[in-house]
């Protein structure tokens, strides 16, 4: 396993031919990426770059928004704060934010732990994505309903309160700077979104692939990383701690309560886990192939920008499979 330098831009590469991959399938993959409004695409194997492509004027230094793929950064930073003894994800959120951080009855608010925020099972009403107190009303007891909701952002406040510093300062010191990322949080009112270049996204994917270690330094302990990429509750098996999980028997998607049978991305390896953001921002981690795949860009389907049900992931993996298998 190779890790790129934190101090310069050198990054080792591996050729497709040395991996025995199918060179003739590369151009159809690139064509598909271009057709689907992709701006950048990378494949790493054992940390080394096998493909690195930029489209539509995007370059290796251009910053782009992760959208909800950045939730995995929040989950990881929360885990770091726990391993440092600043917080415990099984404690109620109000231990850190004080009572009255929601508009729920106090006995219902007291049910909500940081783990419920990590797993999207807070039970808070998901009718509005704007995370202000008046919108944080009761819908179900914490732990009884899975619903993809912006209230996960309160974890940033938990980490900040527990560490007695603003979230971005803690994140930069404990995660970003340790693995040589660039980037910044855009703390908008509704969405707190991370922006970085493509290689920084790939660095985080490599950290996840290597179970939380960067070179020989443990950034996030393996036990928490393993929890993060395992089924976290029994309502949506395809969801961990803000990570999406492939290869499970059923899945739910943002914006609904429908349970779909089958795996999240049938064409992708069953052991894949992924950071997924609107407009098809993706980090795919495939442990069995020691592989990380990154995609940044505009929505592949402008009529359906929000999630995997666009079919983009499955079609992309069909093209990737033709190259790697």
Q: How does DSSP assign 216-251, residue by residue? A: TEESS-HHHHHHHTS--SSS-TTB-SS-EESS-SEE
For the four alpha carbons of 232, 274, 126 and 307, in that order, the dihedral sign comes to negative
Q: pLDDT for 140-191, tens place per residue?
A: 999 999 999 999 999 999 999 999 999 999 999 999 999 999 999 998 767 7
Query: How far apart are the C-alpha atoms of 235 and 118, rounded to whole Å?
Result: 14
* pLDDT at res. 189: 65
Looking only at the bridges linking them, the beta strands covering 184-187 and 64-65 are: unpaired
Which CATH number does 20-324 carry? 3.40.710.10
Q: pLDDT for 201-218, tens place per residue?
A: 999 999 999 999 999 999
* pLDDT at res. 301: 84
> DSSP secondary structure string, 266-278?
TTS-TT-EEEEEG
Looking only at the bridges linking them, the beta strands covering 244-245 and 192-196 are: unpaired
For the four alpha carbons of 43, 47, 52 and 57, in that order, the dihedral sign comes to positive
* pLDDT at res. 309: 59
- Asked if residue 227 has pLDDT above 80, the reply is yes
- Asked if residue 310 has pLDDT above 90, the reply is no
Residue 79 neighbours by CB distance under 10 Å: 25
- Asked if residue 98 has pLDDT above 70, the reply is yes
* pLDDT at res. 302: 79
Name the strand (E) or helix (H) holding 65. strand 64-65
CB contact at 8 A, 126 and 139:
yes
- What is the end-to-end Cα distance of the chain in Å, rounded? 21
pTM: 0.97
């Amino acid at each position: 396993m190779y890790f790129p330098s934190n101090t310069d831009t050198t990054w080792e590469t591996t050729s497709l031919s040395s991996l025995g991959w199918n060179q003739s399938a590369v151009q159809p993959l690139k064509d598909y990426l271009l057709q689907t409004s992709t701006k950048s695409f990378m494949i790493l194997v054992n940390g080394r770059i096998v493909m690195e492509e930029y489209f539509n004027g995007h370059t290796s230094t251009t910053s782009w928004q992760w959208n909800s793929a950045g939730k995995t950064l929040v989950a990881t930073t929360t885990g770091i704060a726990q391993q440092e003894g600043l917080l415990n994800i099984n404690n109620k959120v109000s231990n850190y934010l004080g009572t009255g951080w929601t508009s729920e009855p106090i006995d219902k608010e007291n049910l909500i732990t940081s783990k419920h925020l990590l797993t999207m099972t807070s039970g808070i009403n998901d009718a509005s994505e704007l995370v202000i107190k008046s919108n944080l009303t009761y819908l179900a007891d914490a732990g009884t309903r899975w619903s993809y909701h912006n209230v996960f952002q309160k974890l940033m406040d938990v980490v900040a309160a527990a560490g007695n510093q603003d979230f971005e300062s803690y994140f930069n010191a404990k995660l970003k700077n340790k693995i040589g990322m660039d980037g910044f949080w855009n703390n908008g009112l509704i969405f707190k979104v991370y922006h970085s270049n493509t290689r920084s996204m790939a660095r985080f994917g490599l950290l996840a692939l290597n179970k939380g270690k960067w070179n020989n330094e443990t950034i996030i302990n393996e036990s928490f990383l393993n929890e993060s990429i395992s089924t976290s509750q029994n309502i949506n098996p395809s969801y961990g701690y803000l990570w999406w999980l492939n290869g499970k028997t059923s899945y739910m998607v943002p914006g609904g309560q429908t349970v779909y049978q089958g795996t999240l991305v049938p064409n992708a390896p069953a052991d894949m886990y992924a950071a997924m953001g609107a407009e098809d921002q993706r980090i795919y981690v495939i442990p069995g192939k020691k592989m990380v795949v990154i995609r940044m860009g505009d929505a592949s389907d402008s009529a359906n920008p929000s999630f995997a049900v666009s079919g983009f992931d499955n079609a992309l993996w069909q093209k990737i499979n033709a190259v790697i298998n």
